[in-house]
Structure 1
Amino acid sequence: MNTTKNIYINRELSWLQFNARVLQEAEDETVPLIERLRFLGIFSNNLDEFFKVRYATVKRIDEAGKAGKSELGGVKASELLEIITQVVIKQQTESLDILSNIFKRLKYHNIHIINENLIDPAQRGFIKDYFIQQVSPALMTIILNDDVDLPNLKDSAAYLAVKMKLVTGANQFALIEIPKTIERFVVLPKKGECHYIIILDDLIRYCLDDIFSIFEYSSICAHMIKITRDGELDFDSDLSKSFIDKISESVKHRQIGEPVRFVYDKMIDKETLHYLMSKMGIDSGDSIIPGGRYHNRRDYMDFPSLGRTDLMYEKIRPLPVIGLSLEENIFNNIAKKDFLQYTPYHTFSYVVKFLRQAALDPKVKSIKITIYRLAQISHVASSLINAAKNGKQVTVSIELQARFDEQANIDYAEQMKLDGINLMFGIKGLKVHAKICVIEREEDDKLKKYGFISTGNFNESTAKIYTDFTLFTANQQILKDANTIFEFLEINYRPYTFKHLIASPHYTKSKFFSLIDREIANAKKGIPAYIKLKMNSISNYAIIDKLYEASRAGVKIQMIVRGICCLVPGVKGMSENIEIISIVDKFLEHTRLFIFCNGDDAKVFISSADWMTRNIENRVEVTCPIYDEDIKKELLDVYNICWRDNVKARIINRVQNNQYKKNGLARVRAQFETYTYYLDKLNS
């Protein structure tokens, strides 16, 4: 959906169409039922973060009186806010229809989602006991009064808005916060082959009389509301506070940030709605979204499996990396050649094993690593702490501003500091998003470097569902450059040069411009020229313009972009040589892979950076060349498998209609085909 005649697609609207692709997965009847529910949860969670970050940013531009047209791809901020609201209302309506359909299908499979009106006498005792023992002690109930200000409602928390018609004829309003400490889906006792689930909201509705027994009323009803607040972190200028203290306070302040979205059950009566909006200071200038009976549908990501493996994707068995044994000394393996780990097709255990061996190896003297997001229970963190306890010099650059994971990283940072790890908190104005590790090991009276460079976080949990490359290497030239990154993080006023790695914020744009220029020159000479790119997002206008230039010169460009894509492909005289697809499937496509023809000697890179302005100019990022010929071929094979996808690939075009790629060829579902590719390599 392109609302302008601009040569770019608006970033926010492109993102909404990415989320529409997620919603397509929830609608797709070939996707297992419980997985469809979980995609609905992902859709909802994505939308929450979008409003906290992107919508809030556009709203600030509008409130500051800026037109924002250049920044927003040719759309005025005020117009964009209205367009976003209308698109979201439409998508929310679609999502409710999809949810209703899934519930009907679940019933066919003997899974019944019941509400408070469908509870039978046999279930009543269990529910009442569960409420008394588990729910009631956790409830936060706010009685609303005209004379008392409404307390700040928590960001993204769900509330039941209660209206009681008192016997005196007056109305009494109240809010009940749905507790996050209790599972949203309460599994009731099974009856024969039938499973029964009641959503916590409905269980509370069933027990309203118990909650408000102190009041005398003739009727009572409850409808859900939710408020989303601006997720930007604001820092004060108090020089006496440490950076970690400022981050902690900013995270707490986020809970009382400016409202950017108000969602309500469209069945709520107008009197209750107007009363609540008045109490909360919400007006027509905010994004007001009528929704269904249930909000915070992100909780569907954790919908109980009930042992119904037939309604979920079959779990794959992560494969070993050929030649890299978990039972041997990994340093000896890597000393001989480079290895590529591609999660979730390969096991993430190599990263943990490498760090655990480093923690125990008497020859290892130091470990340096960047951390962006860790698992809730992180074996990576425990391995680093283990290394510090064994006398290794451990340096961790941990990003305290990893959005919505700030508190988790603060907690890990404090734990690491107590255990003797040297912590670095990055550079003012630059997030550290690079994924690198350098280990120094004493061999023959010299220090030899080993390490790994990745496209994704060192996180055991996300490695099960995010596709990411990790290169294990003992290439001393690459690791010397990686070590320079850590020097830059420690002393950042000095100039640094890199001979092999491409580093943001200083060199990424110029280096990729140079690589694109080479393809342009070759195309003009009649030499084969192509560019193959795979990334999460592309929104930097300068790089987009450069790709347009390459297209006009005759360079064939293939792009696989999962999320935001501001480039308009297939336009005659501008981008007719550019084709773009997006793959949304079982796993989250997270790899960044860049391939340049370079005559007959392809240059191949993996990267932590998307082609967005923030990654190029406002972050510390690393793009790593691949020198091993076997790994280069492997990455080309993997890219080509993805490009051939005609099951889960959508075509990106100007109208952004998320049309599936259909070409009449044999079915290729890239994620399944990739696993088969690695399985065949293992068995060959």
Structure 2
Amino acid sequence: MQQDSELNESSIPLVNRELSWLHFNERVLQEAADPSVPLIERLRFLAIFSSNLDEFYRVRVATLNRLADVNVKAKEFLGYNPKKILKLIKELVVILERRFDTLYDEIIDLLAKEKIFIINEMQLNVARGQFVREYFIDSVLPKLVPVMLDYGKIRKPFPDLRDRRIYFLIKFQYKKKTGYSLLEIPSRVISRFLILPKERNLNFIILLDDIIRYCFDELFFIFKYESIEGYTIQLTRDAELDLDTNVDDKFINILSSSLKKREKGKPMRLLYDADMPQDMLDYLVEKTDLDPDALIPGNRYHNFKDFIEFPNVGGKELEYKQLPALKVAGFDLQKSLFDQMKKSDYLVSLPYQSYDYIIHFLREAAIDPKVVNISISLYRMAENSNVINALINAVRNGKKVYCFLELKARFDEKANIDWGEKLTDAGVKVYYGQANYKVHAKVCLVGRREQKTVKYYATLATGNFNEKTATRYCDHNLFTVNKSIVDDLKRLFSDLRHNKYNDDYQSIITSPLETRSKLDQMIEREIEHARNGREASMIFKMNSLTDENVIRKLYEASNAGVKIDLIVRGMCCLVPQVPGFSDNIRVRSIVGRYLEHARIWIFHNNGEEEYFLSSADFMNRNLDRRIEVTFPVFDEDIQGEIKQIINYQLSDNTKAREINVNNDNRHIRRDSGRRYHAQLDTYLYLKDKISS
């Protein structure tokens, strides 16, 4: 934190958002280091860390480089000098990569004790070597296209490396000369892992990289070299899109064209095998014309995110124990959800409870003869989306379906274009939003004809309508027929169809026009309570807290005596426990088996607590540049359920880290007493509710 504060040019304590993000990714690395985490899961946390870092370079570092190129000190980056931040990023990333390598070696040793061996090409005996060679000839060799760069009379320019692909840089020694070749490893079309025949109850796995290394002679048999060696490299490119800001009929074509350019974005980071000889590294720098600061030494294996799919050839104890998705107490999937919603609101807390409720809601709407229309906003969908299938089925059954599909969902743009075309072909009325505002809200409204009128049923969520991520992300879906909420949603969808934005809804709070002001008003109300000697407190749970104006308001509330608890999974630019600024603010981050994704607001409100769930984080983009929906929870039983889940998180002393002035990610521990594990405790609490 000392380095961070030296860079801070603001009048209030702030942590740079990029450095804060790296501190978050360090928490992911801590899970890989935790001996209480099952061994295969530890390997998968390494994969998540690596995947996160790739995206960080593609987006955040890319943006900083753009700013540094024009020597801009952008307000968006809280007054920090981009060049200094880039230097600090590299220093911290190198430290984290070294820790990553150490952890990988440690986990490999522990897997060996479980009779699971990840072996390389130098560790193959005759029998396993023959098995690998046959597999190479049958399955791998047809997919390989080596490019000879320097050999004999061949002199070719170094080709553009594709974003996040793994390559071998190969060096030949022949007739006292040196030659080079480049080879892409086809990990996108062939599994990265090959399970070898079991021997004496021992399990062996070899990576595709090492299969190719072992069989270089099969690939380059026509060349008469004395020696050959290959080392992997991986380039990460700028992934931000430069889009025309006008939305017209050509927008999809513009976006599609921009996506093709993403593969050729400006190089941000070249990760190379730290064992690569200096002469090969010099050759690489010379031929690629990269800034030396962009080169990062790394592990033998790049694109480590593939390890998320690492096969478990050992016992079940090497992975997390399965926790079957629970039912919601009193919410029966064997009966009409609409009939049940007339009597009560319901909350589905994912991933603890089943996503079948959301799918069932849409399927019932699709086939119910009384349903006349469905409106829904979609941001990210599963690859084989049951949500999309239900919407298409609804059209086939004569319903009017209005879908607000966000094309600019980062890294899902191509998939969303394809979904949009599929929905349009089926007869769904698809709206692609506007260039200036992403539709990030997660809401669905169903109109049903009942007794000569149309009654509306809604589900509002903190996370995407995505059944795949719903098994890993902690989110909440509220099912309600509350009149003020459904009336607001009717108006919201109508406004979106006509490209209008309003700020005077009855119950919901929307971005871009009113989230900031309403949030300020509710914080100010707590400030007034505190100044008048009344108890005042607030609890906020979110993914990221980076907006400087919100942070200023929270500092103001702290100084007025408002007790503030923050649960922030990712970036947190606020600095807690700073005298005169944040004495009354405590921040914790929970990183564990599931990804904490829900956004929750709780205001004490002089004893009459108010509860809100939201699609928005406390970031400038969510408050001012996206269409977001924050919605109230009126049902007292559901309020109590949310409060209990939050209390588990505020009590967690197993997976919670304290966010403090030192940014040391210190675990919150207790020397004695009960051990609280928020995610497990939440599951058991919701399970008990079914039987009680």
Pairwise TM-score range, normalised by the shorter structure: over 0.9
**In the alignment, what sits opposite 1:572?**
579
* CA displacement at 1:492 relative to structure 2: 2.1
User: Per-residue displacement from partner, 1:262-312 (whole Å, max 9, x unpaired)?
Assistant: 11111111221122222222122x421011211111111111122631100
2:113 is matched by which residue type in structure 1? Y
Written as runs of structure 1 = structure 2, the 5 A alignment for 1:258-657 is 258-284=266-292, 286-306=293-313, 308-493=315-500, 495=502, 497-657=504-664
* CA displacement at 1:370 relative to structure 2: 0.7
Q: Which moved more, 1:619-628 or 1:274-283?
A: 274-283
User: Are positions 1:81 and 2:95 aligned together?
Assistant: no
Q: Is the 8 A contact 2:406 2:433 kept in 1?
A: yes
Q: Is the 8 A contact 2:245 2:435 kept in 1?
A: no
User: Per-residue displacement from partner, 1:556-578 (whole Å, max 9, x unpaired)?
Assistant: 00010000000010011110000
**In the alignment, what sits opposite 1:118?**
123
Q: TM-score, normalised by structure 1?
A: 0.98
* CA displacement at 1:238 relative to structure 2: 9.7
2:640 is matched by which residue type in structure 1? K
Q: Is the 8 A contact 2:247 2:435 kept in 1?
A: no
User: Are positions 1:22 and 2:22 aligned together?
Assistant: no
Give the % identical residues.
44
* CA displacement at 1:409 relative to structure 2: 1.2
| Residue 557 to residue 494, structure 1, CA distance change in 2 (3 Å) | closer
1:42 to 45, 48, 60: 48
**In the alignment, what sits opposite 1:679?**
687
* CA displacement at 1:336 relative to structure 2: 1.0
Once residues 346 and 97 of structure 1 are traced to their aligned partners in structure 2, the CA distance between those partners, rounded to angstroms, is: 37
Q: Is the 8 A contact 1:427 1:489 kept in 2?
A: no
**In the alignment, what sits opposite 1:60?**
66
Once residues 30 and 335 of structure 2 are traced to their aligned partners in structure 1, the CA distance between those partners, rounded to angstroms, is: 45
Q: Which moved more, 1:9-18 or 1:146-155?
A: 146-155
Q: Is the 8 A contact 2:73 2:79 kept in 1?
A: no
Counterpart of 2:606 in 1: which secondary structure? coil
Q: Which moved more, 1:392-401 or 1:38-47?
A: 392-401
Q: Is the 8 A contact 2:245 2:436 kept in 1?
A: no
Counterpart of 1:304 in 2: which secondary structure? coil
**In the alignment, what sits opposite 2:241?**
233
Q: Is the 8 A contact 2:119 2:204 kept in 1?
A: yes
Written as runs of structure 1 = structure 2, the 5 A alignment for 1:125-136 is 125-136=130-141
The CA RMSD over aligned residues, in Å, is 1.4
1:92 is matched by which residue type in structure 2? E
Written as runs of structure 1 = structure 2, the 5 A alignment for 1:95-106 is 95-106=100-111
User: Per-residue displacement from partner, 1:523-569 (whole Å, max 9, x unpaired)?
Assistant: 11111110011100000000000000000000000010000000010
Counterpart of 1:144 in 2: which secondary structure? strand
* CA displacement at 1:496 relative to structure 2: 5.5
* CA displacement at 1:493 relative to structure 2: 4.4
* CA displacement at 1:185 relative to structure 2: 1.2
Once residues 392 and 30 of structure 2 are traced to their aligned partners in structure 1, the CA distance between those partners, rounded to angstroms, is: 43
Instruction: Could you tell me which runs of 5 or more consecutive residues in structure 1 were left unpaired when the two chains were aligned.
Output: none
| Residue 560 to residue 457, structure 1, CA distance change in 2 (3 Å) | same
Q: How many residues align?
A: 681
User: Per-residue displacement from partner, 1:320-341 (whole Å, max 9, x unpaired)?
Assistant: 0111111101100111110000
1:136 is matched by which residue type in structure 2? L
* CA displacement at 1:487 relative to structure 2: 2.2
Once residues 626 and 235 of structure 1 are traced to their aligned partners in structure 2, the CA distance between those partners, rounded to angstroms, is: 38
* CA displacement at 1:648 relative to structure 2: 0.6
Once residues 558 and 582 of structure 2 are traced to their aligned partners in structure 1, the CA distance between those partners, rounded to angstroms, is: 5
1:15 is matched by which residue type in structure 2? W
User: Per-residue displacement from partner, 1:378-404 (whole Å, max 9, x unpaired)?
Assistant: 111111111111111111111111111
Counterpart of 2:146 in 1: which secondary structure? strand
Once residues 301 and 239 of structure 1 are traced to their aligned partners in structure 2, the CA distance between those partners, rounded to angstroms, is: 38
* CA displacement at 1:169 relative to structure 2: 2.2
* CA displacement at 1:427 relative to structure 2: 1.4
Q: Is the 8 A contact 2:503 2:513 kept in 1?
A: no
Counterpart of 1:368 in 2: which secondary structure? strand
| Residue 149 to residue 622, structure 1, CA distance change in 2 (3 Å) | same
* CA displacement at 1:132 relative to structure 2: 1.3
* CA displacement at 1:106 relative to structure 2: 0.2
Q: Is the 8 A contact 2:148 2:156 kept in 1?
A: no
Once residues 509 and 483 of structure 1 are traced to their aligned partners in structure 2, the CA distance between those partners, rounded to angstroms, is: 22
Q: Which moved more, 1:555-564 or 1:489-498?
A: 489-498
Once residues 38 and 661 of structure 1 are traced to their aligned partners in structure 2, the CA distance between those partners, rounded to angstroms, is: 23
Once residues 595 and 589 of structure 2 are traced to their aligned partners in structure 1, the CA distance between those partners, rounded to angstroms, is: 11
2:349 is matched by which residue type in structure 1? Y
Counterpart of 1:586 in 2: which secondary structure? coil
Q: Is the 8 A contact 2:529 2:535 kept in 1?
A: yes
* CA displacement at 1:603 relative to structure 2: 0.5
Once residues 169 and 234 of structure 2 are traced to their aligned partners in structure 1, the CA distance between those partners, rounded to angstroms, is: 10
1:200 is matched by which residue type in structure 2? L
Q: TM-score, normalised by structure 2?
A: 0.97
**In the alignment, what sits opposite 1:32?**
38
User: Per-residue displacement from partner, 1:380-435 (whole Å, max 9, x unpaired)?
Assistant: 11111111111111111111111111111111111111111110111121111100
1:504 is matched by which residue type in structure 2? S
Once residues 324 and 48 of structure 2 are traced to their aligned partners in structure 1, the CA distance between those partners, rounded to angstroms, is: 24
1:8 to 3, 10, 14: 14
**In the alignment, what sits opposite 1:246?**
254
Q: Is the 8 A contact 1:2 1:9 kept in 2?
A: no
Deviating beyond 3 angstroms after TM superposition, the runs of 4 or more aligned structure 1 residues are 236-241, 493-496
Once residues 494 and 528 of structure 1 are traced to their aligned partners in structure 2, the CA distance between those partners, rounded to angstroms, is: 36
Counterpart of 1:637 in 2: which secondary structure? helix
| Residue 431 to residue 240, structure 1, CA distance change in 2 (3 Å) | closer
Once residues 572 and 238 of structure 1 are traced to their aligned partners in structure 2, the CA distance between those partners, rounded to angstroms, is: 47
Counterpart of 1:429 in 2: which secondary structure? coil
Once residues 231 and 169 of structure 2 are traced to their aligned partners in structure 1, the CA distance between those partners, rounded to angstroms, is: 5
* CA displacement at 1:141 relative to structure 2: 1.7
Q: Is the 8 A contact 1:2 1:10 kept in 2?
A: no
* CA displacement at 1:125 relative to structure 2: 2.3
Once residues 250 and 666 of structure 1 are traced to their aligned partners in structure 2, the CA distance between those partners, rounded to angstroms, is: 54
Q: Is the 8 A contact 2:247 2:434 kept in 1?
A: no
Q: Which moved more, 1:5-14 or 1:651-660?
A: 5-14
Q: Which moved more, 1:616-625 or 1:133-142?
A: 133-142
Counterpart of 2:372 in 1: which secondary structure? strand
User: Per-residue displacement from partner, 1:35-68 (whole Å, max 9, x unpaired)?
Assistant: 0000000000000000000011111000012133
1:201 to 205, 209, 214: 209
Once residues 448 and 53 of structure 2 are traced to their aligned partners in structure 1, the CA distance between those partners, rounded to angstroms, is: 46
Q: Is the 8 A contact 2:503 2:510 kept in 1?
A: no
